[in-house]
Amino acid sequence: MQAQLQAAEPVIEISKLATRFGEHVVHSDITLEVRRGEIFALIGGSGSGKSTLLREMILLQRPSAGTLRVLGFDLENLADDKALALRKRCGVMFQHGGLFESLTVLENIGLPLREHSLLSDKLIDEIAAWKLSMTGLKPEVGEQYPSQLSGGMMKRASLARALSLDPELLFLDEPTAGLDPDSAAGVDALVRDLRDQFGLTIVMITHDLDLLWQVADRIAVLADARVQAIGSMAELEQMKQPAIQKFFAGPRGRAAQQQNSERIEVALSKPK
């Protein structure tokens, strides 16, 4: 899998990107690429610019300088029709769900299709129900309102809406934040399965070390307005920079490493 990803074409290309708000520098020289079919994570402390970078990738904000290309589109001075075409090829799951409280779950999932297609209401409802089932939610959840959902169900419903237009590129903002361990583990498996079954490229922001060990192919560590390192969790674990080691040195980091080692031992011990 890793060899395939290394040979894959880049779908996001960022070069010498800078972002400033007045005198405050968020990014000073960000350069990275995301390859087709990989799960790529952005990590860093509070204020490191993860969310800002995500917003720039999904056309909600423009950088101050540098180059940002997504799915072949140069985002600088992108015409409105091109921007709309690009947005239709991307799905976004926001940290707090972003669902409309006045709509049922099924109506929320079908909303992008009603805005961007000429499909009948009946067909849109059928597609929305299918997307709901893809995320592991039962059909009756579609008739509920967001306020009636648990945290885990809200995440899955938001993910179903992000998948409504069959995106090539999926952005996940803290997909397991606020979830109990069982619900978070379910999201871990779902993210990995979506990539494997549908060939999605996934970019996520997360502080969940277990999620990073379980699903991320590569991780970019942001600190001091720059990318400090990019690599797999196993590669980052061996690096000695303080900005990187703080993710591994604390109790949570050690626990996630131990859990990952135990999973590997169990997998290796199973008969083939």
Counting Cα atoms < 13 Å in the Cβ hemisphere of 143 gives 3
**Residues 165, 124 contacting (CB under 8 angstroms):** no
Q: What is the DSSP string of 170-229?
A: EEEESTTTT--HHHHHHHHHHHHHHHHHH--EEEEE---HHHHHHH-SEEEEEETTEEEE
Give me the phi and psi of 101, to 5 degrees please: -65, -25
Nearest Cα residue to 153 out of 164, 163, 142? 142
Q: What is the pLDDT along the chain (272 residues), one digit of tens a residue?
A: 565 666 689 999 999 999 999 999 999 999 999 999 999 999 998 889 999 999 999 999 999 999 999 999 999 989 999 999 999 999 999 887 789 999 999 999 999 999 999 999 999 999 999 999 999 999 999 999 999 999 889 999 999 999 999 999 999 999 988 888 888 888 888 999 999 999 999 999 998 888 899 899 999 999 999 999 999 999 998 888 887 887 776 555 545 555 555 544 544 556 55
Q: What residues contact residue 32 under an 8 Å CB cut-off, 6+ apart?
A: 12, 14, 220, 227, 230
- State the Cα–Cα distance between residues 124 and 140, nearest whole angstrom: 17
Phi and psi based region of residue 202 (left: phi greater than 0; alpha: psi -120 to 50; beta: remaining): beta
Sheet strands (E) in 36-87: 39-44, 65-70, 73-74
Q: What residues contact residue 38 under an 8 Å CB cut-off, 6+ apart?
A: 5, 8, 195, 201, 202, 217, 218
* 261-269: long-range contacts, CB 8 A cutoff, minimum separation 24: none
